[in-house]
């Protein structure tokens, strides 16, 4: 059976820590477009769709997508999982790669590698924890996503989707380690969540003139130049213990 794969980018402009970070400039173009360029390097046949909200504040996301011939889906402002499910249903998808819109250095190689392992092992949820924060992605089966969503007491917390779907008791999950030793630096933070992190990302993109190479080469340059990427401020707005579920019935 052929898998219909979607790469879904969860993106909004209403950020509490760094407003409108998705459209901030990175070497001449908006951050979200830099992320899209990175995702276009994924070799596994897949379709990229930006998933934003219907809030008027997110109109610039849709406008930017249309201007660049990128598909954009708009749905619930808080229920990110519902957005993914609706666009997955519309596209008749079987697998979804989840990417967040503030991670312009998401690793395309790891997406291909995780998709391969996900399919071979018939998994429902595949993730990685040894890459730097901000370069990781997740692979999930749409059927699993639907089942998980139906059990949420508060779907508006689904921005924290990882905590909701990574439940080995109920789903077939697998943690995949990178086959490349030189990228295993989970303590390094390469997301854009604060002004300081944005400055670091600009420094990286400026050095590589808008075309950052493979992740191992980026990290090599970062370490050589002693760029501070160890972030103490990368914390979720709520704690994992605050995510609530109904009891799953098998």
The domain limits of the chain are: 5-238
Task: Quote the CA–CA distance of 1 and 136 in Å, as a whole number.
Answer: 27
Task: Quote the CA–CA distance of 167 and 162 in Å, as a whole number.
Answer: 9
Averaged pLDDT for residues 52-56: 95
Look at residue 79 in the predicted model and tell me its pLDDT. Answer: 86
Name the range with the highest mean pLDDT among 13-27, 30-44, 140-154, 222-236.
Answer: 30-44
Q: What is the pLDDT of residues 214-245, one digit of tens each?
A: 999 999 999 999 998 875 544 444 444 454 55
Look at residue 236 in the predicted model and tell me its pLDDT. Answer: 47
Residue 9 dihedral angles phi and psi, to the nearest 5°:
-100, 115
Please state which CATH number belongs to domain 5-238.
3.90.550.10
pLDDT band at 94 (very low <50, low <70, confident <90, very high): very high
**pLDDT at position 250 over 50:** no
Averaged pLDDT for residues 150-163: 66
Q: What CA–CA distances, in Å, run from 22 to 43, 100, 106, 153?
A: 24, 10, 14, 29
pLDDT band at 91 (very low <50, low <70, confident <90, very high): very high
Q: What CA–CA distances, in Å, run from 120 to 126, 198, 224, 243?
A: 11, 37, 38, 31
Coil/strand/helix, residue 71: strand
Q: Which of 55-69, 179-193, 234-248 bottoms out in mean pLDDT, i.e. has the lowest?
A: 234-248
pLDDT band at 26 (very low <50, low <70, confident <90, very high): very high
Look at residue 160 in the predicted model and tell me its pLDDT. Answer: 58
For a pLDDT cut of 90, what percent of the chain falls above it? 75
162 vs 101 pLDDT, higher one: 101
**pLDDT at position 169 over 90:** no
**Tokens 């990882």 identify what position?**
162
Task: Quote the CA–CA distance of 207 and 210 in Å, as a whole number.
Answer: 8
């Amino acid at each position: 059976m052929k898998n219909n794969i979607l790469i879904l980018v969860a993106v909004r402009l209403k950020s509490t820590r760094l407003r409108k970070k998705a459209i901030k400039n990175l070497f001449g173009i908006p951050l979200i477009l830099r992320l899209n360029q990175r995702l276009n390097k994924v070799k596994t046949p897949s379709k990229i769709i930006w998933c934003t909200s219907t809030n008027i504040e997110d109109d610039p996301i849709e406008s930017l997508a249309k201007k660049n011939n990128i598909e954009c889906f708009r749905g619930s402002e808080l229920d990110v999982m519902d957005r993914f499910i609706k666009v997955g249903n519309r596209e008749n998808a079987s697998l979804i790669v989840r990417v967040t819109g503030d991670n312009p250095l998401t690793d395309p190689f790891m997406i291909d590698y995780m998709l391969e392992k996900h399919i071979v092992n018939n998994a429902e949820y595949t993730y990685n924890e040894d890459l730097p924060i901000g370069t990781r992605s997740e692979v999930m089966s749409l059927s699993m996503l639907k089942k998980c969503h139906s059990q949420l007491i508060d779907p508006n917390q689904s921005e924290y989707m990882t905590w909701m779907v990574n439940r080995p008791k109920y789903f077939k999950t697998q943690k995949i380690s990178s086959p490349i030793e030189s990228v295993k630096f989970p303590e390094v933070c390469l997301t854009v969540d604060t002004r300081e992190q944005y400055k670091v990302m600009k420094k990286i993109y400026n050095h590589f003139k808008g075309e950052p190479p493979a992740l191992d080469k980026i990290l090599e340059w970062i370490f050589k130049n002693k760029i501070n990427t160890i972030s103490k401020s990368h914390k979720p707005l709520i704690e994992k213990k605050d995510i609530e579920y109904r009891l799953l019935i098998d």
